[in-house]
C-alpha cells in the first residue's frame, strides 16, 4: 500500500476476517467492554476500529476486537494482523488486542 493508511478501509478489512465478531476503537476503556458497559461498547462499533499513528519509527496500526467463541482467539488475532500487514506499507507495526471472546 503506497498511500497513507485509511482507518475506514482498514476497519472494513478487519470486519471481514474469520472469527471477528466486533471491532472497538482502540482507545475504548476496558470498563465499557464489561457486561455493564456492553451497550455503550456496541454503539462504539463504528468505522474507527483501526487507529493509525505516524511515529518517528514509521506507521503503527492498532485495533481491538471481540473474537468468536468458536474460533481460537490467537488464530483470529493472527488473521487480523496478517490482513492489516497485507494492506500496510512495509515496516508498519501492527497491534491487535483481543478485548472479548463472544
CA 4 from centre of chain: 17
> The C-alpha cell of 76 is what?
483470529
Average pLDDT, integer, range 37-58: 70
Are 20 and 67 in contact by the 8 Å Cβ rule? The answer is yes
The pTM assigned to this predicted structure is: 0.80
Establish if 1 belongs to a structural domain. Answer: no
- DSSP H helices, the chain, are 7-15, 38-44, 73-87
Mean pLDDT within 36-41:
50
Tell me, what CATH number does 97's domain have? Answer: 3.30.70.1350
| Confidence band for 43, pLDDT divided at 50, 70 and 90 | very low
Residue 13's domain spans which residues? 7-101
pLDDT tens-digit profile of 54-94?
988 899 999 999 999 999 999 999 999 999 999 999 999 99
Give me the pLDDT at residue 63, please. 96
Cα(11)–Cα(8) distance, rounded to whole angstroms? 5
* Spatial separation of the C-alpha atoms in residues 12 and 34, rounded to whole Å: 24
Residue 14 belongs to some domain of the structure: yes
Determine, yes or no, domain membership for 2: no
Amino acid at each position: 500500500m503506497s498511500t497513507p493508511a485509511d482507518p475506514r478501509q482498514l476497519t472494513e478489512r478487519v470486519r471481514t476476517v474469520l472469527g471477528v465478531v466486533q471491532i472497538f476503537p482502540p482507545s475504548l476503556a476496558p470498563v465499557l467492554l464489561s457486561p455493564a458497559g456492553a451497550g455503550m461498547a456496541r454503539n462504539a462499533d463504528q468505522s474507527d476500529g483501526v487507529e493509525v499513528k505516524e511515529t518517528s519509527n514509521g506507521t503503527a496500526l492498532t485495533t481491538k476486537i471481540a473474537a468468536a467463541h468458536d474460533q481460537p482467539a490467537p488464530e483470529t488475532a493472527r488473521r487480523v494482523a496478517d490482513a492489516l500487514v497485507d494492506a500496510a506499507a512495509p515496516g508498519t507495526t501492527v497491534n491487535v488486542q483481543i478485548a472479548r471472546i463472544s
